[in-house]
Amino acid sequence: MLTDLYPTLCQTIPEYGAALFGLPVNSDYPYWLAIDAQAFPALLLPARADDLRPDITLRAVDALFSRTCVIDTNTRVPHQGCYSLIRLKESDTAIVRLFLRILEESFCTASPPSTNAEIAACVQQVAALFSRIEDNTRDLVGLWGELTVIAHAQNTDAAVRFWSTRKTAKFDFVADHFVLDVKTTTKPLPQHRFSLDQLRPSGAFDAYIASLCVIEVQSGQTVADLMETLAARLSDHDLRSAFLIQCLTKGGRDLYRSDLALQTYPDNASLSLFRAEEIPVPHVRASDPIENIRFDVDLSQIVPLPDQYRASILTFELTE
């Protein structure tokens, strides 16, 4: 929606700094998307002239409330109206796409914000989310692996609901009766780094490790491809919105910029599942003053779970 509209706008960049060139979003929402002379995008939402509120100026995002706007269009007659504007101070195509994707999930909903107070609250949330997004290619490889596990799940909704929201979480999936951590490597061997707590957790639940070796190939899928494919499977808007925002947070600013196309190695169906208790760990006595133990394990010689058992785990069925 918004991401598709921005490239069209960039074909007609205004010549003057204060000018706006825009187009209506679509018939479902009374919004306009516009750009200025720097190709900075702005989402314009209808506002009342008497709904007064101080503007918001942040590092990457501005919000201007209840402004009378004159918008040049692809017709001879400009469009004029009272709008509140949410503007990104950036024109990098990948970052703009990331920003507009977040705006879509925040404002293109069944019950969008309608007052300046509600818009301001959403802007603060969007800005906070945008500020947490980092640059780290390793995040993309790890996220690719987690999304691949979700893609293998028979119940996509359940897998997404069990997906840990923090990329620093001890386990990537926390289900009702088991935990699952996903290890993804670009090495040709399934050698991964573990913490002792991941393989020997305390608690009355089973722990599993999913292992993927991936390789970059032209016919592979990017993280953005996987994200959009899985999002299309989610019919619940709130769940889809949470899923997309989580992908953007975990994937970082390079999510749309990166053309890193991966597939599992040695074939495109290689996803091995192991019981955590069957993976060896260093011996540490409870009395030893040692913490935060990290170590590498090559899983090549460890027998993974049979395909049928793996499939039963990856159903991610929700229990009542």
Q: What percentage of the chain reaches a pLDDT higher than 90?
A: 58
pTM greater than 0.85 (yes/no): no
Q: Where are the domains of the chain?
A: 2-132, 137-313
Contact criterion met (CB below 8 Å) for 89 and 143: no
Q: Report the C-alpha gap between 240 and 233 in whole angstroms.
A: 9
Alpha-carbon 315 to chain mean position: 22
Query: Would you state the pLDDT for residue 5?
Result: 92
Which of the two residues, 167 and 53, has the higher pLDDT score? 53
> In sequence order, which ranges of 175-313 are alpha helices (DSSP H)?
196-199, 223-233, 237-251, 254-257, 307-313
**pLDDT for 285-308, tens place per residue?**
878 888 888 999 999 999 999 999
| pLDDT, mean of residues 82-111 | 88
Query: Would you state the pLDDT for residue 137?
Result: 57
Q: Which residues pair with 233 in a beta bridge?
A: none
Query: Would you state the pLDDT for residue 231?
Result: 93
Q: What percentage of the chain reaches a pLDDT higher than 70?
A: 95
> Strands 41-46 and 79-88: what pairing?
antiparallel
Query: Would you state the pLDDT for residue 320?
Result: 44
Confidence band, pLDDT 50/70/90 cuts, at residue 40:
very high
**pLDDT for 185-233, tens place per residue?**
999 899 999 999 999 998 888 999 999 999 999 999 999 999 999 999 9
φ, ψ of residue 34 in degrees (nearest 5): -135, 160
Query: Would you state the pLDDT for residue 18?
Result: 67
**pLDDT for 308-320, tens place per residue?**
999 999 998 755 4
Least confident of 126-135, 170-179, 254-263: 126-135
